[in-house]
């Protein structure tokens, strides 16, 4: 399980004296959960379209289904936007305050600050009724785009047994490449229906309903990024690093592997994303990834998009197939394919220290792929590894 998925919360209801699933939600900090208002209505035994906010005395029970033992917490409603307000882009949002801290291994998560490109592969966890999956199931969906009322339309991929359906209501829809949520699943066709489209409450909608935990989504864009890195989208406001950019670009063109080392916060990621990548130009295809919990899977997804375009719909099956090819053949075939199209390959593994500082031995096959011996380096590929200087290899 990836770390961000530990932020998934199940909202429980009771049927015939036994706990059941009303829907799901997202842990946004140690004491706060966001979900859909109609999910809370179900949990409290009310009609799904009930408009009146629950009382502060009403207790909603949640658990953390992807943690060992699925620990349980009580919560109360502290924010309410009624279900019918979603039609005008204003809600179906409920904010819950836990009565005690979330479990130790639960991970709070953030929403994406920008809508990802159409075709982006996303993933959602839920409890389908047909076919029944009492332990839950993941479904891969592709983003179609934004529709009216600030909703985001997605579509379940057809090469799956399960599609997104009402048992997924309120669940965070993850972008596995970033570990952030693209929205909350709001509406989906029933299992027996042929449609595979579903609709998400956008981060903007959630933030407009519950400002306190999501103020980072409401601040107007500012060229001062604080501790956040500049990306290629901010290249026009990235100043003062021209000499560093020129030197790094020259080295990337000349040698297979570059390690960019510096203290945390010095601007390594910004130099690569807003300096190097724009300087290389359109004749380079860039796989920009962050290792996360499964660096092989992240690398495979980035390379597939580098080959075929950033709007490629990439499924989990395709990524795992690509991992197998990488382990067997390395970067050579991908780099040569791009060379045949007059493009060069640059692989950027940002925050490479995540591979080295896990407490476990790094995967030697991954290190051999990204840090090959000079005689084994693929000349048609380039690898750039931003690395915090406090991390080092033995």
Tokens of 336: 């040569």
Query: Which of 63-67, 98-102, 212-216, 219-223 shows the lowest per-residue confidence on average (mean pLDDT)?
Result: 219-223
pLDDT at 294: 84
User: What pLDDT sits at residue 392?
Assistant: 46
Query: What are the residues whose beta carbons fall under 8 Å from the beta carbon of 8, sequence distance 6 or more?
Result: 24, 25, 26, 27, 64, 65, 66, 125, 171, 172
Q: What does the alpha-carbon distance between residue 301 and residue 286 come to, in Å, rounded to a whole number?
A: 12
Question: Residue 29: which pLDDT band, with cuts at 50, 70 and 90?
Answer: very high
Q: What is the pTM of this model?
A: 0.59
Question: Which three-class secondary structure state does DSSP give residue 206?
Answer: helix
Confidence class of residue 67 from pLDDT cuts 50, 70 and 90?
A: very high
Non-local (6+) Cβ contacts of 265 within 8 A are 227
Distance, in Å, from the CA atom of 320 to the CA atom of 122, rounded to the nearest integer, reads 15
What beta strand segments (E) does 171-277 contain?
A: 172-175, 180-187, 197-201, 257-262
Q: Alpha helices, DSSP H only, in 193-274?
A: 203-209, 242-254, 268-270
pLDDT > 70 in the chain, percent = 87
Domain spans of the chain?
1-219, 232-388
Rounded Cα distance between 197 and 227, Å, is 37
pLDDT in tens, 262-296: 887 777 888 888 888 888 888 899 898 888 778 89
Selection from 339, 346, 303 nearest residue 321 by Cα: 303
Four-residue CA torsion sign, 68, 358, 257, 379 = negative
Query: What is each CA distance from 22 to 50, 71, 228, in whole angstroms?
Result: 15, 17, 37
The answer as to CATH 3.90.1310.10 being correct for domain 232-388 is no
CATH of domain 1-219: 2.40.10.120
């Amino acid at each position: 399980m990836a770390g961000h998925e530990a932020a998934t919360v199940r909202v429980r209801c009771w049927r015939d004296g036994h706990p059941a699933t009303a829907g799901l939600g997202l842990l946004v900090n140690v004491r706060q959960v966001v979900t859909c208002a109609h999910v809370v209505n179900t949990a409290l035994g009310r009609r799904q379209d009930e408009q009146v906010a629950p009382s502060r005395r009403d207790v909603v029970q949640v658990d953390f289904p992807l943690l060992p033992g699925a620990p349980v917490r009580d919560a109360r409603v502290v924010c309410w936007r009624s279900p019918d307000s979603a039609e005008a882009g204003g809600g179906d949002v409920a904010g819950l305050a836990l009565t005690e801290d979330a479990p130790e291994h639960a991970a709070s998560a953030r929403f994406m600050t920008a809508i990802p490109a159409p075709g982006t592969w996303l993933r959602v966890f839920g409890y389908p009724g047909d076919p029944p999956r009492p332990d839950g199931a993941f479904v891969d969906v592709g983003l179609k785009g934004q529709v009216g009322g600030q909703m985001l339309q997605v579509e379940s991929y057809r090469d799956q047994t399960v599609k997104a359906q009402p048992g997924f209501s309120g669940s965070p829809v993850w972008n596995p490449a970033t570990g952030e949520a693209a929205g909350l699943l709001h509406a989906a066709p029933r299992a027996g229906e042929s449609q595979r489209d579903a609709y998400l409450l956008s981060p903007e909608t959630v933030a407009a309903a519950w400002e306190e935990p999501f103020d980072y989504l409401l601040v107007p864009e500012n060229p001062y990024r604080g501790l956040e890195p500049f990306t290629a989208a901010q290249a026009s406001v990235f100043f003062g690093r021209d000499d560093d950019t020129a030197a790094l670009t020259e080295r990337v063109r000349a040698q297979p592997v570059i390690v960019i080392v510096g203290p945390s916060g010095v601007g390594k990621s910004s130099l690569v994303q807003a300096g190097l990548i724009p300087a290389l130009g359109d004749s380079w295809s860039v796989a920009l990834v962050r290792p996360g919990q499964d660096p092989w899977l992240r690398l495979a997804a980035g390379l597939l998009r580098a080959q075929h375009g950033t709007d490629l719909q990439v499924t989990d099956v395709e990524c795992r197939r690509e991992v197998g090819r990488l382990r067997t053949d390395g970067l050579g075939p991908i780099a040569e394919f791009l060379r045949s199209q007059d493009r060069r390959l640059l692989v950027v593994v940002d925050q490479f220290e995540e591979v080295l500082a896990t407490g476990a031995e790094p995967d030697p096959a991954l290190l051999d792929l990204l840090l090959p011996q000079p005689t084994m380096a693929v000349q048609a590929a380039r690898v750039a590894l931003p690395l915090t200087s406090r991390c080092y290899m033995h």
